[in-house]
Amino acid sequence: MYKRMVVLLDGSKLAEVVFSYARELSGRLNLNLDLLHVCSSREAEQLPMHQAYVEHMAEMLEAQAEETHDKVVVKPKEEGIEVRGKVVIGYPAEEILKYTDDNSIDIIMLATHGSSGIRRWGLGSVADKVIHGAKVPVWLVPAQLHEGILYDKLGDRLILVPLDGSKQAEAVLPHVKTLIEQREAETEILLITVAKQYPATSVTSQERELIGEDVWALRTTGEAYLEKIAKGLRGAGFQVRSEQLVGDPPEEIIRYAAKYHPRLIAMTTHGHSLFNHFVFGNVTEHVMHRLHKTPLFLVRPQE
């Protein structure tokens, strides 16, 4: 089970979105929280003020998370939810990763920036370093988080899980199972995999006919793979459905999310497809840049 999540507060308006979402998750998952703010050396003189602010936020969140838990969770808590506030000085990415390692953190929560999702990251940016350097899952919260997701008001509880046939991509599945078990509420897993679509304008009519047959064969292979994964999950008591998609992977994942409104998209940061014409690899970054309202749960698979 996940026991503690660190939530990054940067003093911006976006922090309010993360604060509200973290409060809801803490109550529903019975998660302890650490609110972390990283100051630069130039802000060292203001450290007491920042610390007072973060501690005040922690007190508020703790009370609200307890209230949420008492409303929605049937099983009583063995212990109360604990929320701590901490301010450190240094380089954000390095301090975030160090804090995670030193404090038995299970999940890192970050806000995305910009009206269209994460802005293009430069080399060495905070988000890039955290996502690729963290040993634990990173939960990304979009600035325009869907209100139905924030307050658990959507009709169905769905987690969308894109796979590519590789063990690396499947590394996200144990985390999905843990989230559902810890939530103690009915949640359905949507498994998808995506095959590249061949552009019709680049082939002759005879080639198009052959490619069409090839695409159908790929769909069959993908469906068989997903059904194998789904069968194992159903045997463990989870609700699962699966679908093979054909097209541009990031576009199809985003389109599928817009159609079914999952509470969460869970995927690994990279994979190595076992299907010749199936792709995954770099689609995660494209999805991160394009998501507007759906949180993204990222797992870095072990080498």
Q: Are residues 135 and 169 in the same domain?
A: no
* The total number of structural domains that make up the chain: 2
In a domain? residue 150: no
CB-based contact 162:265 (threshold 8 Å): yes
Q: Which CATH number fits the domain that encloses residue 272?
A: 3.40.50.620
How many other CB atoms are found less than 10 A from the CB of residue 237?
9
What is the 8-class DSSP label of residue 197?
A: P
Q: Are residues 278 and 218 in the same domain?
A: yes
Q: Are residues 217 and 136 in the same domain?
A: no
Domain with 207, as residue range(s), is: 158-299
Rounded to 5 degrees, φ, ψ at 140 are -95, 130
Domain-ending residue, one of 120, 145, 170 = 145
Task: Give the model confidence (pLDDT) of 217-253 as tens digits.
Answer: 666 778 888 999 999 999 999 999 999 888 888 889 9
Q: How far apart, in whole angstroms, are the C-alpha atoms of residue 26 and residue 152? A: 13
Q: How far apart, in whole angstroms, are the C-alpha atoms of residue 261 and residue 160? A: 9
Q: Are residues 219 and 112 in the same domain?
A: no
In a domain? residue 152: no
CB-based contact 56:87 (threshold 8 Å): no
Q: Are residues 139 and 224 in the same domain?
A: no
Task: Give the model confidence (pLDDT) of 128-141 as tens digits.
Answer: 788 888 999 999 88
Task: Give the model confidence (pLDDT) of 34-64 as tens digits.
Answer: 999 888 788 777 788 888 888 888 888 888 8
pLDDT at 117: 42
CB-based contact 55:85 (threshold 8 Å): yes
Query: What pTM value is reported for the model?
Result: 0.85
Residue 116 pLDDT greater than 50, yes or no: no
Domain-ending residue, one of 121, 145, 169 = 145
